[in-house]
């Protein structure tokens, strides 16, 4: 299965993509996680991405395409993947389709997780992530066992989950990513899934639409 999980910031893409990747035994590839890891490791990629991320803007397409092209060439991605948060622009979607065409394959499904804006703000501002293992919690809906992660790691709030930056990320999404809705609708590969309700319920909806695509 080669699937893309799209959706506005904090819609639940990472939560759902991690679970799908495990169940389908394909890698969960999150460009946001790759950028955050690069920042934590102090690499050149991290240096390039940081300012854009902290401002709620997109990292330039050529930088993002470079890391995705590299990642999709790994052995573990040859039999499938769940992409999370990529593509986010039309040029990225075109770039992805070229990479896949060069491998003689194409996407099986693009799933858009739809969540109203007031809920997105609640999900973003309540998100906490483990500094050690990257596990994602929510202070109300998916609280950690105590003050720390299950693995013992410290929990932190993402810098870009402040109310101001969330507003900026939503504006970026509307301007640059929402056009992909039409792009993939025309291609016939888009399925829109209601992202409200608990994560198990949303998961069941996604599995149902993927069942129709495979
Ligand atoms: P994204 O990858 O789209 O930014 P996440 O998967 O990180 O989104 O989810 C954002 C926040 O919302 C996290 O705190 C997560 O625990 C919480 N969350 C995810 N799915 C749901 C859901 N169905 N209901 C309530 N909270 C959710
Ligand atoms: P969310 O979906 O909650 O905004 P992500 O972890 O997917 O969180 O992305 C965090 C930030 O990383 C984005 O606001 C953007 O700056 C950068 N980023 C992630 N994926 C992409 C992408 N495909 N293109 C450009 N920038 C990206």
Calculate mean pLDDT across residues 103-109: 95
| pLDDT confidence bin for 191, thresholds 50/70/90 | very high
Q: Identify which of 6, 53, 1 has the alpha carbon closest to the alpha carbon of residue 184.
A: 6
pLDDT at 119: 96
pLDDT at 212: 79
pLDDT at 188: 80
pLDDT above 80 (res 53): yes
pLDDT above 80 (res 213): no
19 labelled catalytic: no
Run of H or E residues at 6: strand 2-6
| Domain at 2-27+74-117+177-213, CATH from 3.40.50.920, 2.30.330.10, 3.50.30.10, 3.40.50.300 | 3.40.50.300
Calculate mean pLDDT across residues 177-193: 93
| Residue list, ligand 1 pocket, CB within 6 Å | 7, 9-15, 123, 126-127, 136-138, 141-142, 198-199, 202
Angle between helices 44-54 and 61-72 (to 10 degrees): 130
Rounded to 10 degrees, the C-alpha dihedral 72/78/84/86 comes to 40
Distance 3 CA to ligand 2 centre (A): 17
pLDDT at 187: 82
pTM (two decimals): 0.95
Query: Which position among 2, 19, 123, 127 bears the catalytic label?
Result: 127
Percent of the chain surpassing pLDDT 70: 100
Greatest extent of the chain over all pairs of C-alpha atoms, in Å: 48
pLDDT above 90 (res 15): yes
How is the chain split into domains, by residue range? 2-27+74-117+177-213
Cα 8 to Cα 11, 16, 94, 122, 181, distances in angstroms:
6, 14, 20, 13, 11
CB count, 10 Å around CB of 59?
19
pLDDT in tens, 142-173: 999 999 999 999 999 999 999 999 999 999 99
pLDDT above 70 (res 12): yes
Ligand 1 atom at shortest distance from the alpha carbon of 202: 23
- Cα–Cα distance measured from residue 117 to residue 196, given in angstroms and rounded to the nearest whole number: 11
Angle between helices 61-72 and 90-102 (to 10 degrees): 30
pLDDT above 90 (res 214): no
Query: Which position among 2, 19, 36, 88 bears the catalytic label?
Result: 88
């Amino acid at each position: 299965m080669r699937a893309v999980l799209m959706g506005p910031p904090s819609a639940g893409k990472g939560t759902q993509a991690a679970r799908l990747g495990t169940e389908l035994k394909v890698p969960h590839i999150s460009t946001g996680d790759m950028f955050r890891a690069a920042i934590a490791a102090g690499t050149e990629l991290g240096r390039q991405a940081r300012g854009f991320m902290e401002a709620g803007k997109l990292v330039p397409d050529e930088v993002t395409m470079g890391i995705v092209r590299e990642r999709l060439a790994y052995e573990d991605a040859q039999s499938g993947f769940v992409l999370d948060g990529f593509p986010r622009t039309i040029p990225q979607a075109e770039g992805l389709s070229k990479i896949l065409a060069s491998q003689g394959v194409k996407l099986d499904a693009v799933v858009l997780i739809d969540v109203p804006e007031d809920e997105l703000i609640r999900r973003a501002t309540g998100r906490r992530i483990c500094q050690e293992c990257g596990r994602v919690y929510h202070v109300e809906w998916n609280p950690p066992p105590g003050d720390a992660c299950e693995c013992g790691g410290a929990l932190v709030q993402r810098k870009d989950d402040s109310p101001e930056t969330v507003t900026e990320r939503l504006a970026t999404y509307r301007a640059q990513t929402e056009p992909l809705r039409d792009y993939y609708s025309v291609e016939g590969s888009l399925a829109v899934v209601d992202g409200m309700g608990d994560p198990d319920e949303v998961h069941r909806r996604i599995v149902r639409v993927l069942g129709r695509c495979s």
